[in-house]
Amino acid sequence: MRPSTLSLRAATAALILASAANGQEIPPDFTISSDTQLLAAYGTPPDVTVVEPGVLLDFAIPRPTPPALGLAAIPSGTTGPYMVVMTDPDAPSPQNRSSSEILHWIQLDISLTANASPSESGVAFPYVLANTSNPLVPYAPPQPPAGSDPHRYIFFLWEQPEGFALPEGYTQFNATNRRLFNVSGFAAAAGLPEPLAANYFLCERPDNMTATATSSGVVGATSAAASATTSAPAQFTGGAVALSVGGASILGAVGALIAGLL
């Protein structure tokens, strides 16, 4: 059944409660939504942070690599593979969205497998989503500018259409060109149905941290996104340590923040 309103705010009661708890206004600016929570967690056991819908995450947590993802159940009528899109509709700030959306991540070719040993991992996802290819647009961690209220970082999951490629009007998006994305328009142009699952968190830059702007629209995102493969920014250590749940390599790893450098 379709959600009664077409906003993320209405996606689940949990979303509403979480956003109310955070005192955040969630503008009804999405024409797509999902009743199903995309399970997501950052970090490596034992330091795992589960993304509760609407939670305000410490700046250090969602970096440098994407979260582990999962589902409570196999979406009915789907066989996979699946695809994930992450977007920030609040750039440069929730009050001034002139750069929005910022595209943070497009990952295709995601498999879904039952989690064989949930109790042994730090992440007890019943079903684990794992990427089987490099991202189409690499993950860029949140980089809200200094002084901005928290931004929303929203994940959407779809079953991937056969032969999927970036639709007309969206082929310019890549690792260095992320501004003025429109996930609703993207979904419409690609002929995607309602998302199978969604989730979001909030993140803001600590007052004592500064940032340098880049042309990508994600402040500092170019180096941050590249950190998983090439040059890690000086302030992060750790890098891509693969989480393993039930023998499956899953999306997710995080670096430890050296607070002294920031």
Q: Which residues would be at the binding site for ligand NAG (CB under 6 A)?
A: 31, 66, 92, 96, 98-99, 131-135, 139, 172, 174-177, 182, 184-185, 188, 206, 208, 228, 259, 262
Task: Considering the complex, state which of residue 139 and residue 201 has its C-beta at the smaller distance from ligand NAG.
Answer: 139
Point out which residues pair with 69 in neighbouring strands: 40, 129
Task: Considering the complex, state which of residue 165 and residue 259 has its C-beta at the smaller distance from ligand NAG.
Answer: 259
* Least CB distance to ligand NAG at residue 42 (A): 13
* Least CB distance to ligand NAG at residue 130 (A): 8
Burial grade of 23 (CB within 10 A; 0-12, 13-18, 19 or more): exposed
Q: Are 88 and 104 in contact (CB under 8 A)?
A: yes
> If we measure between CA atoms, which residue out of 71, 66, 166 comes closest to residue 111?
71
Provide the CB-side half-sphere exposure for 138 (13 A, CA).
19
Q: Are 179 and 102 in contact (CB under 8 A)?
A: yes
Q: Are 243 and 65 in contact (CB under 8 A)?
A: no
Q: Are 252 and 41 in contact (CB under 8 A)?
A: yes
* Least CB distance to ligand NAG at residue 177 (A): 4
How many other C-beta atoms can be found within 10 angstroms of the C-beta atom of residue 7? Answer: 17
Task: Considering the complex, state which of residue 114 and residue 259 has its C-beta at the smaller distance from ligand NAG.
Answer: 259
CB-closest chain residue to ligand NAG: 185
* Least CB distance to ligand NAG at residue 36 (A): 21
* Least CB distance to ligand NAG at residue 231 (A): 15
Task: Considering the complex, state which of residue 54 and residue 135 has its C-beta at the smaller distance from ligand NAG.
Answer: 135
Task: Considering the complex, state which of residue 71 and residue 190 has its C-beta at the smaller distance from ligand NAG.
Answer: 190
